[in-house]
Chains A and B, each alone.
Chain A
Amino acid sequence: MAVLSFEKDLDKLRGEIDKVKESGTSDGGSDGRLADLEDKLEQSTLQVFSALSAWDRVQLARHPDRPHTLDYIDHIFSDFIELHGDRRFGDDAAIVGGPAKFDGQRVMVVGHQKGRGTRDSVKRNFGMASPEGFRKGLRLMRQAEKFGLPVITFVDIPGASPVLEAEERGQAWAIADNLLGMIELRVPIIVAVTGEGGSGGALALGIGDRVLIQEYGVYSVASPEGCASIVWRDHKFAPEAAEALKLTPTDLLKLGVVDRIVREPLGGAHRDYAKAAEILAEDIAEELNAVTKISTDELIAGRYRKYRAMGRDVVDNLATDESNAEPRPKVREGKSR
């Protein structure tokens, strides 16, 4: 398992625990030492994970061993049938999807899929989806609408594929079509950001009635490296950019970009797939039950209101839209000088 810099000491402790476990099977005296070490590991993990910087969190969200969409599908859903292709050009392995059962309920699952290991990663373009992937996603969501299935999406993408071929096939057009399509979709949509929410490619599967984010997921307008090279003119300022972008779950909840933070097992989802999946499934089930009770018209209207309000309270001098009767309070005043 890959070890991040701030995980190193914890990894050493884990090594010691394994050693004790191996050598101590016949020796009853090591039980005490084992319990001590395990206690120490838990304490240290709590300590390390309570003091994570934004940049540490970016590393965690990108952890190569972090569960990906297909891992969660494996744990959470039954009868998943992966469907392929956008019916226009090809099949993008960086986005997966198909009908499945969740908690006995028929649903449609769509998610970004990063690879595991070199060959799989290359096949899936390291999760950087192409226009075909977004179009496949929208096709499956429209299919869900036809059959009245709620949609559950998993967001985990470094960014949409940045190559000329993707441009030629309309990367921007594909993403825009998904935004419009998801706003209009007449079935409930639950979004779970499970890893990296990377910019427009994330949003292309990220519009929903409820948006959840895992405790060690991040969601950002651009990668910290990209932001650093734009604003600082040097990608080496990525840690500073990560801090400034307010991309952590707590910040996103404050900004109203996400609705709920999903807890992860101690040390992150990569430490315990089953547990991470179990917590995620519980939270998705709760949100899904809530939204399926809402009538379709009210659901669509509520989704519209939610996105219409994005950023509205961070602009000043809103006064000229005479057609809207709602008062719009100025929530923030610009710094006076």
Chain B
Amino acid sequence: MKKILRRRGRAGRGQPDDLWIKCRKCGHMSYRREFVVSLKVCQKCGLHERLTAHERLEMLVDSMDGFQQIAPDMVSTDPLGFVRGNLTYDDHLERYRDSTGLREAVICGLGTMEGRPVSIAVIDFRFLGASMGSVVGEKITLAIELATERRLPLVIVSCSGGARMQEGMLSLMQMAKTSAALSRFHAASLCYLSVMTDPTLAGVTASFASLADVVIAEPGATVGFTGRRLIEQIVKQKLPENAQSAEFMQEHGMIDLVVERRALRGMIIKLFDIFVGPDERSDRVNEVEEIQVKIRPAASTTKT
């Protein structure tokens, strides 16, 4: 019961009927409207509050109307028959589907940025800690493959607690699968920008999130392999507060750019302009039309 209350409380933070938003780092109170205008960045301490996948996509693409999802209905089965106490993995998934309205932890698709068609994947931390199981791995792979086939640039906005325990070794193998897809993508001389948001850890960092042409992180995001709690347990001392922050990892040579949220879209567009070159817009617009036509009927067949 206590857990349910806590969960409600957590989900309740940020409901549309709350007038005030309290920063979870500095406690600064801001008007909801202000907070939304500032893209959920605390005006006082600069904390970049986590975004939902939809919020992130809205921030990045030209228009959500033109955004075409890849495999929006894909869900995981329960390959291991994983049970904790009385709770099956299916139950667990359903609980998260209900609480988030998402089918899984990642949304992938094709959108345009300044008119340039881009394959985009965005991971949502609310869905089971954005852990990577077979669906996340498969959808990320499909986004990479579509980019490879259409010769489109790729953006993946990551966050993750790591591999999804409930799918066992199949989750670990998603690291291999996504890396394999990126191998072909890079061999085709295409451009991939990785954006690490809070927190990006373990199997996701140790596969597709770090295998990019440019690695970007949001200010203050936790980025690394082993989570802080485990490191502290093992070395039996507290880590410095900034350890594994985006800035710390940049200092150690692991991240190219730490970019504030309001500058992110502009930075991505600029990097694509330089690495990919000017987009032959008229051709590309036609190409998007073509992809849209192909994706729509396929997506609708899954509902029957």
Interface residues, chain A, with chain B CB atoms under 8 Å away = 160, 162-164, 166-173, 175-177, 179-180, 183-184, 199-200, 203-204, 207, 219-222, 226-227, 230-232, 240-241, 244-247, 252, 255, 257, 304, 307-308, 310-312, 314-324, 332-335, 337
- Can you give 30 A-B contacts (C-beta < 8 A)? A160-B225, A167-B244, A171-B225, A172-B205, A172-B210, A172-B224, A173-B210, A175-B207, A176-B209, A179-B175, A179-B179, A184-B183, A199-B203, A200-B175, A221-B163, A221-B171, A245-B80, A255-B168, A304-B183, A314-B170, A315-B77, A316-B74, A317-B73, A317-B302, A318-B71, A319-B71, A320-B299, A321-B142, A321-B146, A322-B295
CA distance A230 to B160 in the complex (A): 14
Count A/B pairs, Cβ under 8 Å.
235
Instruction: State which size class the interface on B falls in.
Output: 35 or more
B77 and A314 form a contact (CB under 8 A)? yes
Write the nearest CB–CB distance from A316 to chain B, whole angstroms.
Answer: 5
Write the nearest CB–CB distance from A176 to chain B, whole angstroms.
Answer: 5
Contact of B169 among A230, A252, A308 (CB under 8 A): A252
Task: Fill in one digit per residue for B47-78: 1 if any A CB lies within 8 Å of its CB, else 0.
Answer: 00000000000000000000001111111111
Chain A: CB-nearest residue to B138:
A315
**Neighbouring A residues of B214 by C-beta, 8 Å:** none
A321 and B176 form a contact (CB under 8 A)? no
B224 and A179 form a contact (CB under 8 A)? no
Interface residues, chain B, with chain A CB atoms under 8 Å away = 69-80, 82-84, 88, 90, 94, 133-135, 137-138, 141-142, 145-146, 149, 161-177, 179-184, 202-203, 205-211, 224-226, 230-231, 234-235, 239, 243-244, 249, 252-254, 294-295, 298-299, 301-302
B75 and A334 form a contact (CB under 8 A)? yes
**Neighbouring A residues of B166 by C-beta, 8 Å:** 231
**With A167-B243, A219-B169 as contacts: A312 and B138 at CB distance below 8 Å:** yes
**Neighbouring A residues of B163 by C-beta, 8 Å:** 199-200, 221-222
With A173-B254, A200-B163 given, name 5 new contacts (CB 8 A): A175-B207, A179-B206, A255-B169, A307-B173, A324-B145
Contact of B79 among A162, A183, A219, A314 (CB under 8 A): A314
Write the nearest CB–CB distance from B237 to chain A, whole angstroms.
Answer: 10
Chain B: CB-nearest residue to A226:
B230
CA distance A171 to B78 in the complex (A): 31
A170 and B252 form a contact (CB under 8 A)? yes
B230 and A162 form a contact (CB under 8 A)? yes
Contact of A180 among B94, B162, B179, B299 (CB under 8 A): B179
Chain A: CB-nearest residue to B235:
A163
B71 and A172 form a contact (CB under 8 A)? no
B78 and A183 form a contact (CB under 8 A)? no
Q: Which of A163, A173, A226 has the most CB of B within 10 A?
A: A173
Chain B: CB-nearest residue to A200:
B206
